[in-house]
Amino acid sequence: MRRLPVALGERAYEIQIGRGLLARPECWDSLAGRRRVLVTDRHVAALHLPAVLATLGLTEDDCLVVDAGEAVKNWDSAERVLDWMLSKRLARDAVLIALGGGVIGDLAGFCAAIYQRGIDFVQVPTTLLAMVDSSVGGKTGVNHPRGKNLIGAFHQPRAVIADLDSLKTLPRRELSAGAAEVIKYGMLGDAAFFAELEQGGLAALMALDGETPAAVVERCCALKARIVGLDEREAVAGGPRALLNLGHTFGHAVETFAGYGHWLHGEAVGLGLVMAADLSARLGWISRAEAERCTALVAAAGLPLLPPEGMTPADFRRLMAGDKKVAGGQLRLVLLRALGEAVLTADFDDAALSACLQHYCRPA
């Protein structure tokens, strides 16, 4: 098993990455003696809940199973989870376990953040996306019809337990969605990793071959943990955490336009990465050949390369104007100064953005 520290002072925790962890009691030692309850979704409940209940000696009465998918990540669901927590008379020393993908992690984590002003929670990611990204770093929250993740809180988990065996049941489309966030790390901060993904790493990851998934999850988590350690709450003044948002200003616009759940988060991020690379090339910051390498890797992951039918540049502009990185009324984007080096900037030629939006919104 690989163990990775997230260095955040009194909020420090460990990420455990390995196979068979759901069934290994020693991985859950930090929860011993505490009241434990669990939130999951119905897909994950059918596949992986029995193993966790057996390991922890819990019953179905200790679990809340919600519907699956992005459409669940909303205020109504949060209210339902909070109401259930209250009905269980959880005290402040209880621990909430979030078993599932990023939707469950964000939703349950948010409820843990605000229940009686905050109780402990543990992330048990079961999707590739959640293992490499959403389970780490403490962003929790729900969507609003006006935009993604607009309601939320920073609340770090007490531990992350990533059992790679759970990926065996993950549908191919979800694996591709997770790959988008993996590619993101290479583009934003690790050119060597990007090249490894191009040279067979992505294919081995998608095939869940040998040690590759463990190595990739560890590499992504290490990069994210380092950035979060430098800028835990994404300083509005422009700390490094915003770089983890590469591709997300475009991607969140697509998810909101399409209606939550029609495009997977990772699918929208994949397209956002392609658009961010294209814009960076239009600005002359990276070469056209480098932008094409980004597009090719996103395509190799089986991700879409064009926005939803009917989405116009004006739709992008309207939705991107509500992005959380907007400051002083100005749109700020994460773009590439080089492949492997992202920057948060408002200093780009707006005509280049128009040309980029026009290019991708062309009729297919």
Ligand X SMILES: O=C(O)C(=O)C[C@@H](O)[C@H](O)[C@H](O)COP(=O)(O)O
Ligand Y SMILES: NC(=O)c1ccc[n+]([C@@H]2O[C@H](COP(=O)([O-])OP(=O)(O)OC[C@H]3O[C@@H](n4cnc5c(N)ncnc54)[C@H](O)[C@@H]3O)[C@@H](O)[C@H]2O)c1
Please report, as ranges, the residues that interact with ligand Y according to CB under 6 A. 41, 43-44, 47, 68-70, 73, 100-104, 106, 126-127, 129-130, 133-134, 137, 139, 149, 166, 169-170, 174, 177, 264-266
Q: Is 268 helix (H, G, I), strand (E, B) or coil?
A: helix
Closest CA to 169 of 69, 280, 271, 47: 47
CB of 324 or CB of 332, closer to ligand X: 324
Interface with ligand X: number of residues (CB under 6 A):
12
Q: Which of residues 222-241 bind ligand X (CB under 6 A)?
A: 234, 241
- Residue 244 touches ligand X, criterion: CB under 6 A: yes
Q: Which tokens in the block code for residue 113?
A: 């953040």
| Strand 2-6 to 13-18 pairing | antiparallel
CB of 158 or CB of 265, closer to ligand X: 265
CB of 174 or CB of 290, closer to ligand Y: 174
CB of 282 or CB of 324, closer to ligand X: 324
Q: Is 33 helix (H, G, I), strand (E, B) or coil?
A: coil
Distance (Å) of CA 145 to CA 60, 247, 255:
32, 20, 10
CB of 201 or CB of 270, closer to ligand Y: 270
Distance (Å) of CA 283 to CA 245, 287, 352:
19, 9, 7
CB of 350 to ligand Y, least distance (A): 27
Q: Which of residues 176-215 bind ligand X (CB under 6 A)?
A: 181
Residues 6 or more apart whose CB falls under 8 angstroms from that of 341 comprise: 188, 189, 191
Contact between 263 and 276 under an 8 Å Cβ cutoff? The reply is no
Stretch binding ligand X (CB under 6 A), from 131-139, 197-205, 270-278, 344-352: 131-139
- Residue 245 touches ligand X, criterion: CB under 6 A: yes
294-322 core/surface letters (b: 16 or more CB in 10 A; e: else): bbebbebbebbeebbeebebebbeebbee
Would you say 181 is a known binding-site residue?
yes
**Chosen from ligand Y, ligand X, none, partner binding at 267 (C-beta under 5 to 8 Å by type):** none
- Residue 139 touches ligand X, criterion: CB under 6 A: yes
The phi and psi torsions of 89 (rounded to 5 degrees) equal 55, 45
**Chosen from ligand X, ligand Y, none, partner binding at 245 (C-beta under 5 to 8 Å by type):** ligand X
**Chosen from ligand X, ligand Y, none, partner binding at 158 (C-beta under 5 to 8 Å by type):** none
Q: Which residues bind to ligand X, rule: CB under 6 A?
A: 133, 137, 139, 148-149, 181, 234, 241, 244-245, 248, 324
